[in-house]
A and B are shown apart, each in its own frame.
Chain A
Amino acid sequence: MVTEKIIQVLAEQYDMDPDTLSADSSFEDMSFDSLDVAEMVMTLEDEYKVSIEMSAEIKTIGAMAQHIEDKMAQ
C-alpha cells in the first residue's frame, strides 16, 4: 500500500512511468541525488504525517515503505 503510494508520488514528482518502478527500485538507479531524496522525504512526511529519519540503509522504495509502515505502527 505504502509502496504503491511512494511509486505514485515519485512518478508524479519526477515525471517517470510508474510501471518502471517497484519496491526493488533503488534511489541510486533512479539517479536521485541527496536533494531529490530530501524532496521525496518531505512529500511523504506530509502524506503520512510521520517524521522520516533518512539513513544510508534506506536505499530502495521498498525500504522506505517499510520505514514509513514501522513509523505509523509506533
Chain B
Amino acid sequence: MSFNIIGTGRALPKKCVTNDMLASFLDTSDEWIYTRTGIKERRILTDESLLDLAYECSLAALENAGVAAEELDLIIFSTLQGDYISPSLCCLLSKRLGAVCGRQLDINMGCSGFIYALDIADSYFRADKAQKVLVVCAEAMSRISDWTDRSTCVLFGDGAGAVVLEKGDGFKAINLTVDGAYEDLYVPIPQGNCPYSPHSDEEGFLKMNGQDIYIFAVSAVVREINAILEQEGITPDEPDYYILHQANTRIIDSARKKLKQPAEKFPVNLDRFGNTSSATIPIMLDELNRAGKLKNGGKLIFCSFGAGLTTGVCAIEWTKQ
C-alpha cells in the first residue's frame, strides 16, 4: 500500500514584482517577457526567510489534512538551496512545527524535486516505516538568479508548497529519468578560498540555455505523459488535470496541443508566480484543492522536468473527501 494526498498548503512571499518593475532596471519589457514566457509577475523574498515560507505552507497543509505535526513519521524537504548549506532546512522546520520524527531529509533534484520526494515517500509507506508524511518544497530562486541577466532572472519566483500523505492507494505510478547533461541548466557553487584548489571566475548564479531546455522540456513532457498513460491503461482524455511544472506557458501549451487536450486540463499559475522550481506543482495542487476543483476519485497526472536533466511523472487518484 502506498499513500493518499490528504492535505495541501502553499505560501508565497508578500513582495510582488511585476514585469514593469523589472523593466525599470533591465533592458526588457512587459510585452517581451509575457509573450515569451506567460509570466506577468512573481513573488520575491524580502524580509522573510525560506524557513518562514516552508513553515507557513506546512502548517496550512497539516491543517487541511487534520494532522498534527507530532503525528508525522517523515519529512521530505525539496529545495535547491535552503537558508543554510548546513543544517538542512528540514531540521529547522521540524523544530518550528513541533514535529518529533527523526526521519527527515532535504533533497535537491531541481525542478523535479516534488516528484522525487513522492517517490521516496512511496518507498517508506511500502516498507511500513511511515503512517503520515510531510513533503515540503520551498525555493528561493531570487538568491541564485543573476539580476543583471534579462534572459534568466525574469523567469523565476520564490514560493513554497506542501502536501501531507497518509497510507492509501491513491499513488498509482511513477517514472523518473536522469540523463546527466548539465551544460544547458546549472547553478555553480560559490567559490571557496582554499589556497590549494583552482578558482573559477564563475559566479553562483543560475545559467540556462533556454532554447535547448525548451526543446528538451516539450519532448520529455509529451514522451513521459504518453508512457505513463499507456502503462496505466488510461486514455489521454481520462485525467481531470495534468499538473505540469510551471516553467513557461509555451512549454505547457505546446505539450498540451501535442496531447490534444483542452486548456482547462492544463492549469497555469506562472503568470502570477513565475517558475518556483520544485514548488510549482504543490502550489498549483493547493490552488486547485482549495478552489474545490479536485473530485474524489479523479485522476491527476503530475509532470516535471529540470536540471539534471531530470523528468518526473506520476499518476495520482485524488482521494481526499
Contacts and interface: CB of A to CB of B under 8 A. Distances in A.
B36 A38 contact: no
A74 interface: no
Contact of B218 (A34, A37, A42, A54): A42
User: Chain B interface residue count: which class?
Assistant: 10 to 19
Contacts of A33: 35-36
B250 to A, nearest CB: 5
A35 interface: yes
A35 B219 contact: no
B211 A34 contact: yes
A38 B219 contact: no
A39 B215 CA distance: 7
A37 B254 CA distance: 13
B224 to A, nearest CB: 15
A34 B248 CA distance: 13
Contacts of A35: 36, 210-211, 214, 248, 250
B38 to A, nearest CB: 11
A41 interface: yes
Contacts of A42: 215, 218-219
Of B36, B211, B218, B248, most buried by chain A (CB within 10 Å of CB) is B211
Given A33-B36, A35-B36, A54 B211 contact: yes
Interface of A: 33-35, 37-39, 41-42, 54
23 contacts: A33-B35, A33-B36, A34-B210, A34-B211, A34-B214, A35-B36, A35-B210, A35-B211, A35-B214, A35-B248, A35-B250, A37-B211, A38-B211, A38-B214, A38-B215, A38-B218, A39-B218, A39-B254, A41-B215, A42-B215, A42-B218, A42-B219, A54-B211
Ranked nearest first, the 5 interchain pairs of A and B with the lowest CB-CB distance are A34-B211, A38-B214, A38-B211, A38-B215, A35-B250
